[in-house]
Structure 1
Amino acid sequence: MKIRKAVIEDAPAIARIHVDSWRETYNGIVPKAYLEALSYENREKLWNNMIPNTAVYVAQNEHGEIVGFANCGNERTAKYKGYHGEIYTLYLLKKEHGKGIGKSLFKHCINALSQKGINSFMLFVLADNPTVTFYEKLGGEELDRVNIEIGGETLEEIAFGFDVIKITDK
């Protein structure tokens, strides 16, 4: 497995993982119609814009195929004092779970934030997402619970906060 900074040519693969991982992970959580309406084309446009403007990392398997990605940058809400960075996304195909890839992508984001002088960061995860425990094991402290709307349905997100110094050994 190899983690590297994404390049614009990775946008189609990132878009595929983004859509497929949402459909795998959020089936039964997010409205079915919303998941079915997700498109590779729309996500590719999103990632064509994100790759040059945020720190985006991809995970490649032994065959060179992209199987996961993450991106991070400055915290977007300014609501959580003391947390200056944010991991915006971290997605893997379900078949890649449990191999240490998510943790490796997470650490690459920590390093990118640290290089910008950011030593505390946060992320949001749907409360019903089975990966909530992943973030708890990495040292995430619950900061807040907020309601968001996806596909016409109200869902709860958990805001987790992290201190880089506390998680470097995990």
Structure 2
Amino acid sequence: MEIRKANLNDALGVAKVQVDSWKTTYKNIVPNEYLEQMTYENRAIKWKDILSGQDVFVAEHKGEIIGFSNAGEERTGKYPDYTGELYAIYILKEHQGKGIGKLLLNSVVDKLKDKNIYSMTVSVLEENKSRLFYEHLGAKKIDRKRIEISGKWLYELVYGWKDTKEIK
């Protein structure tokens, strides 16, 4: 298994991980019609755009992308104590629980440090058990906000690390 910086040729592989992860992670949380409209093809188009402007890291196993992460500057401006944001981290269900998430997280944290960003938020649906991953790594809950996805109201928790050096 290898962690590396993604390139434009990885767009479809990243898209597959995102779509498959959403369909397993958010089943019975996010409306089915929203999950059904996510396709490898439409997400690959989006990821080509993202890959051309953001740092994305992939976990690759036997030539297949099995996970990814990306981060950058905090986008909302609502959390002045936090200058960075983990935008996404997804790992295929069958590869979870093997330490890959921590490796992907470390990759984006190292990249943020290169940009003099030493604090970070991440938003996660309250019903998503993956939030326990962030809690385990020392993130503190700093906000709870109501969001709407395909007509369904959900709660999203915002976690933060005031100093990414403290990630356990």
**TM norm structure 2:** 0.97
Cα distance, 1:32 vs structure 2: 1.1
Q: Structure 2 stretches of 5 or more lacking a match?
A: none
Find the residue that maps to 1:154 and give its secondary structure.
Answer: strand
Between the aligned partners of 1:12 and 1:161, the Cα distance in structure 2 is 30
Between the aligned partners of 1:154 and 1:41, the Cα distance in structure 2 is 27
Between the aligned partners of 2:9 and 2:165, the Cα distance in structure 1 is 34
Question: Deviations 1:36-56 (Å, cap 9, x if unpaired)?
Answer: 111111111110011121110
User: 1:25 matched to which residue of 2?
Assistant: 25
Cα distance, 1:151 vs structure 2: 1.3
- 1:83-162 → structure 2 map (5 Å cutoff): 83-162=82-161
Cα distance, 1:93 vs structure 2: 0.5
2:45 alignment partner AA = K
1:96 alignment partner AA = H
User: 1:59 matched to which residue of 2?
Assistant: 59
Which portions of structure 1, spanning 4 or more consecutive aligned residues, are displaced by more than 4 angstroms? none
User: 1:45 matched to which residue of 2?
Assistant: 45
Cα distance, 1:64 vs structure 2: 1.8
Between the aligned partners of 1:57 and 1:42, the Cα distance in structure 2 is 20
Between the aligned partners of 1:47 and 1:125, the Cα distance in structure 2 is 20
Between the aligned partners of 2:74 and 2:52, the Cα distance in structure 1 is 17
Say yes or no: does 1:68 pair with 2:64.
no
User: 1:3 matched to which residue of 2?
Assistant: 3
Q: How many residues align?
A: 167
Between the aligned partners of 2:20 and 2:122, the Cα distance in structure 1 is 21
Question: Deviations 1:7-59 (Å, cap 9, x if unpaired)?
Answer: 00000011111111000000010011111111111111110011121110000
2:95 alignment partner AA = E
Q: Structure 1 stretches of 5 or more lacking a match?
A: none
1:46 alignment partner AA = K
Cα distance, 1:165 vs structure 2: 2.4
Cα distance, 1:166 vs structure 2: 1.5
**TM norm structure 1:** 0.96
2:120 alignment partner AA = F
Between the aligned partners of 1:16 and 1:151, the Cα distance in structure 2 is 21
